[in-house]
Chain A
Amino acid sequence: SQQGEEDPQALSIQEGENATMNCSYKTSINNLQWYRQNSGRGLVHLILIRSNEREKHSGRLRVTLDTSKKSSSLLITASRAADTASYFCATAFNAGGTSYGKLTFGQGTILTVHP
């Protein structure tokens, strides 16, 4: 399996601090995506980074990708209580054109931001 694995499993910080979550995977990928899930809700897409990209930004989010180390990180700057959620990385690979958009999700990092 080339399932992504997030680290840490849980992260607790104070409002205003930065939060960094890491994702490692096992096989070559086409792209890596980060999703957020609030309690009791569905997943919401945050950022997609392709295998030929090294860094992407979206507002307070910064994602890096190191394909040589098969790892990615998600940085949330100046965190807010509303950022409290679970964060998942998902990897997509193209197995000879048969992947058809299949994503493999990690187990997630639970982020708690205290006011």
Chain B
Amino acid sequence: NAGVTQTPKFRVLKTGQSMTLLCAQDMNHEYMYWYRQDPGMGLRLIHYSVGEGTTAKGEVPDGYNVSRLKKQNFLLGLESAAPSQTSVYFCASSYGGFNQPQHFGDGTRLSIL
């Protein structure tokens, strides 16, 4: 099994451009999450989903949108990229809620120029 797969792995954008990060999991997990990781900041939750068709805001949702049209996929969109969104983005999934471990992808390294 692949687990959690993120595409692309690297991307460079110009300020104002838009893009979508794709996360796919093959573990039939209900819960999916998007985090960003910045130096000295740990991981911060952007948005999450508790099931197909649901999304909710996390700690730092501004400037991002998400969609969970299929259970296995969780998309993170940047409508108008800003340099402050330069970061490493991680997707994770879990079978249940906070009592379950989260499984992470290997990240997308995004630079906004």
* Residue of B35, B41, B44, B104 with most chain A CB atoms under a 10 A cut-off: B104
Query: What is the CA–CA distance of A33 and B40 in the complex, to the nearest angstrom?
Result: 19
Given contacts A33-B101, A43-B92, 7 further A-B pairs with CB under 8 A are: A42-B92, A43-B90, A90-B43, A92-B98, A99-B98, A100-B50, A103-B45
Please give the residue numbers on chain A whose beta carbons come within 8 Å of chain B beta carbons, in ascending order: 3, 30-31, 33, 35, 40-45, 48, 50, 88, 90, 92-94, 99-108
A/B pair count, beta carbons within 8 Å: 75
**Minimal beta-carbon separation of B95 from chain A (angstroms):** 10
User: Which interface class (under 10, 10 to 19, 20 to 34, 35 or more) fits B?
Assistant: 20 to 34
Chain B residues closer than 8 Å to A106, beta-carbon distance? 42
Chain A residues with Cβ under 8 A from B92's Cβ?
42-43
**Measured between alpha carbons, how far is A100 from B102 in the docked complex, in Å?**
12
